[in-house]
Structure 1
Amino acid sequence: MKKFLLPLLALALSATAASAQTAPDQAGGRPRFTPEAMAARQTEGLTKELGLSADQAAKVQPILLARSQEMMAMREQMRAGTADRDQLRTQMQANRAKYDDQLKAILTPDQFAQMQTLEANRRQRGGPGAMQPQDGKVKEKDGKVKIKTKTDA
């Protein structure tokens, strides 16, 4: 009996932990990560991609958590139809600049430039959560990344 209960208990605990990290998306039917899980995942990815030190990762995670929480709140406003889309877009751009400034203070210039390149490439190929520019071209100059679209030309 003990041999049967132990694996069952382990399975129940792992299912509980997994459900705590995601919440079902009512509209799309796929799970959404909590802001905490998203921040942890993003920190892990940046640590791997940029070679962050343990100290840098510890400083980056709270910034990514705050960003995830704000973005989720804005998306909920948009879904509920309680906010103007253009106003939210402007607010999201301001938030991105604010968090980029915070990250720039923690990352080395090379790491920050690499992070911007990774984000630009993700946007260009249409990665998760990325806005795809129409026929966009990514250019990097002096550590700054610019996406040029047809409308910019």
Structure 2
Amino acid sequence: MKNQLLSLLAAFVLTIGAAAAQTQPTTRPAGGREHRQQGTPEERATRQSEKMTTELGLTADQSSRIKQILLTRDQEMQALRGQGKPAEGSREQMGAQMKANREKYDAQFKQVLTAEQYTKYTALGKSHMKGGRGAGLNQGEAGKVKAKNGKLKVKKTDS
């Protein structure tokens, strides 16, 4: 009788533990890649400025100025994306516009950040780009990324 009670209690505890483990949110989705957080331009600008503040050691004044630059940039990029899928001929135009925007906002960051902070900012940007969709490619290099059997394969192309 005692053995049956202990077995029943152990089965109950295991069942509850398994059920609790299934209801816990996972920190990473399947595939091991974190899902980018979306939100309004204001929310994204706040998150990005907080991250830059900790990574670059920004002052309160720098942080608020960077947040405003990020907000303006996000709103402008959202407007560009909101124009819909570009036609074949305008794809290059949209790419050129986005590059011009990056250069414009990069110049604004350079005005707010110290030389040391700006150097660290550009280094962080390059390391983030290598971890993104163009993994294994240097900035400005063209390539194709294929997924096969759950693995990414990068093939550089001449362009």
Q: Same fold (TM over 0.5)?
A: yes
- 1:94 paired with 2:109, answer no
Q: Which amino acid in structure 2 is aligned with residue 102 of structure 1?
A: Q
- Where does residue 142 of structure 1 map in the other structure? none
1:38 aligns with 2:44: yes
How big is each residue's C-alpha offset from its partner over 1:59-118, in whole Å with a ceiling of 9 and x where there is no partner? 1111000000011111122xx235622111100100010011111001001111111111
Mapped contact 2:73–2:105 kept (Cα < 8 A): yes
- Given the two structures, how large is their TM-score scaled by the length of structure 2? 0.61
Identity of aligned residues (%): 44
Look at both structures and tell me which one has the larger radius of gyration over its CA atoms: 2
> Shift of the alpha carbon at 1:31?
7.1
Structure 1's 31 and 118: CA in aligned 2 closer, same or farther, altered over 3 A?
A: closer
CA root-mean-square deviation? 2.3
Alignment map for 1:66-85 (pairs within 5 Å): 66-77=72-83, 80-81=84-85, 84-85=90-91
Unaligned runs of 5+ in 1: 1-29, 138-146
Q: Which residue of 1 aligns with 2:26?
A: none
Aligned match of 2:137: 136
Alignment counterpart, residue 112 of structure 1, candidates 115, 118, 123: 118
Mapped to 2, the partners of 1:40 and 1:148 lie a distance apart of 29
Displacement over 6 Å in runs of 4+: none
Q: Distance in 1 between matches of 2:158 and 2:51?
A: 31
Q: Partners of 1:148 and 1:89 in 2: how far apart?
A: 13
Name stretches of at least 5 consecutive residues in structure 2 with no aligned partner: 1-35, 142-155
